[in-house]
Structure 1
Amino acid sequence: MTEHPHAALVRKGYDAFSRGDMDTMRTLLAEDAAQHVPGSHPLSGDFKGQDAIIGLYRRLAEETDGTLRAILLNVLVDGRGHAVSVHRFTAERQGRRIDEIASIVFRVVGDRITDLDECLEDIDRSNEF
């Protein structure tokens, strides 16, 4: 059975993110894509456009001294432009460590990601980290 194109797109994004390949990330994101990061920490909020999203990813890498990992566990699709990833998120920052399950709800139009909504297992733990 062939994987749904939206699941393949999400997997390709996780692979590029894991390798720090922001050039590939740009090819997957619509120019006006938006990423929504929940919480009340300095990296929470809405990031609109490829440059803002790539900037967020670079800042995440900087803040965690390159220790951030998002290990994809599963991708679910609805066949109508939505994909949901489930991943394990680990990182270290200023002597603290985080290890939790998280999710991203993707909106796909054509062959590009237009919207990414993050969901966290423990939003308070994420804020503290």
Structure 2
Amino acid sequence: MNTFTLDVVTPNGSVYSAKEVELVVLHTETGEMGVMAGHIPTVAALKTGYVKVNKASGTEYLAVSEGFVEVRTNKVTVLVQSAETAEEIDKERAINSKERAEERLNSNQDEVDFRRAERALHRAVNRIEVAKFR
């Protein structure tokens, strides 16, 4: 099977890199997108979700925040604010983050930024879900 290189980059630098990737599944703003070697060049906006990486050695999952993906013939670059592999996720911390976000959303205080709290809740739930793929 033809393969390609995958790089996941945050503002702090590369957090994940793999060669000989057979398939990457991403969550774009317009739906799920699968990429294989030889895919047409594409740039797409990503929403908070997971990146599924299929290699001959197995499947890995990463929790990612919003960002972009750039697809070239033999390389895929994911540019996001944050990314963690399923093994790196601290599930207790994610659960605590979820509870804090829910508390903010349920409070009646005027100074609560509900959009920010919703995004925090979505990120925490995503991290909890991806942690299940360990």
> TM-score surpassing 0.5?
no
More helix by share: 1
Rg larger for: 2
TM-score, scaled to structure 1: 0.28
